Amino acid sequence: MNKSNLVENVAVAAGIKKKEAELAVNSVLASLQTALSEGDKVQIAGFGTFKVKERKERTGKNPRTGEVLVVPAAKVPAFVPAKCFKEAVNK
């Protein structure tokens, strides 16, 4: 499923126009991105938790040349699914 499929599904499920559903989906995604960029975590009951993880600096290897290089530290978004969400997916 891609974003346009998600918008279409939201529009059908909510009984609204696609433009309104697209605005709703974009608003949710923007709010999620804003919260994570500010260092907050977002918990959605029955779905899961979005949070930011710190990835430490590490050494890596260029597979083409074999050259050893340093991969810098970074903040990365992470998702931890809720127990009931995992169970629903595994049915």
Residues 72, 89 within the same domain = yes
Beta-carbon neighbour count of residue 16 at 10 Å? 14
Instruction: Return d(Cα 91, Cα 86) in angstroms, integer.
Output: 9
> For the segment 38-69, what is each residue's pLDDT rounded down to a tens digit?
999 999 999 999 999 999 999 999 999 999 99
* Residue 3: predicted pLDDT: 95
Q: Is the domain of 49 the same as that of 86?
A: yes
Residue 26: is its pLDDT beyond 90? yes
Do 54 and 31 fall within a single domain?
no
pTM: 0.79
Q: Which domain holds residue 60?
A: 44-91
Could you tell me if 91 and 49 lie in one domain? yes
Co-location of 83 and 49 in the same domain: yes
Q: Looking at the structure, do residues 52 and 28 belong to the same domain, yes or no?
A: no
Closest CA to 47 of 80, 91, 21, 5: 80
Q: Into how many domains does the chain fold?
A: 2
Q: Which two tokens stand for residue 21?
A: 């559903």
Residue 34, CA distances (Å) to 28, 49, 70, 87 in order: 10, 15, 29, 29
Question: Could you tell me if 46 and 85 are in contact, meaning their C-beta atoms sit under 8 angstroms apart?
Answer: yes
Work out the pLDDT band at 91, boundaries 50, 70, 90.
confident
CATH of the domain at 68: 4.10.520.10
